[in-house]
Amino acid sequence: MDRIDEILGKINVLEGELRHELRDVTNEFLYTVQEKKIRFSEEVRAANREFAAKWSDYVYDSGVWVILTMPFIWMPIVPALMLDVTVWLYQLMCFPVYGIPRVKRRDYIVIDRQSLTYLNFIEKMNCYYCGYFNGLIGFVREVAARTEQYWCPIRHARPVKSVHSRYRHFFSYGDAEGYRKGLGQVRKDFNDV
């Protein structure tokens, strides 16, 4: 258990370092973020426009098979919107009752690629979709992770491909005594969010 906690702690530190490094890229490509808006200098915007592909060329170069897959890519947007509303309502109604801090949707759903002048309209629409959909999945995962920490904070017996942010607070599989004695505390242990 101690070794698992140590590894999960290292992962947490590395994720923090990764977020820091990703923020430092702003200097390399000469943009700033001011009040959640991305700002490029006019020279950079003009230079980037030179790299924009015409949407008609973009469609033509994609090929027929890629174009035919488009409805299948966009089809999940309706259930995604329903999931978004459902999870938002669930969190709004239940988390205060459980004493779980709410997950900030805006921390997960980031839509900011429309500022990139080297993207054409279709590419920007694709970026809206990907930013929303991947952000939504991250948001839902965090809501589910906090829910799991409250209701069933027990690690799995079999290895999982990916662990969520709350997994390190969970009890070892089979630790009946630890679970019974510590469940009340683990249900309140959200100081790190």
| Domain membership flag for residue 105 | yes
| Domain membership flag for residue 115 | yes
Residue 30 has what pLDDT?
Answer: 67
Token couple for 31:
């943009």
| pLDDT (mean) for 8-36 | 73
Give the residue, 20 or 165, on which the prediction is more confident. Answer: 165
| Domain membership flag for residue 45 | no
| pLDDT (mean) for 4-28 | 76
Give the residue, 176 or 120, on which the prediction is more confident. Answer: 176
**Which residue range forms the structural domain that includes residue 156?**
71-188
Give the residue, 116 or 89, on which the prediction is more confident. Answer: 89
Residue 27 has what pLDDT?
Answer: 59
Q: Shortest CA distance to 29 belongs to which of 135, 115, 104?
A: 115
Give the residue, 6 or 44, on which the prediction is more confident. Answer: 6
Residue 155 has what pLDDT?
Answer: 93
Strands 37-40 and 31-34: antiparallel
CB count within 10 Å of CB 146 equals 22
pLDDT tens per residue, range 17-30: 887 776 666 556 66
| Domain membership flag for residue 174 | yes
- Look at the chain and report how many structural domains it folds into: 1
Say which range, 5-9, 72-76, 129-133, has the weakest mean pLDDT.
Answer: 5-9
On the question of pLDDT at 192 being above 90, the answer is: no
| Domain membership flag for residue 28 | no
| pLDDT (mean) for 29-44 | 70
| Domain membership flag for residue 6 | no
| Domain membership flag for residue 93 | yes
Residue 32 has what pLDDT?
Answer: 67
* pTM exceeds 0.75, yes or no: yes
| Domain membership flag for residue 54 | no
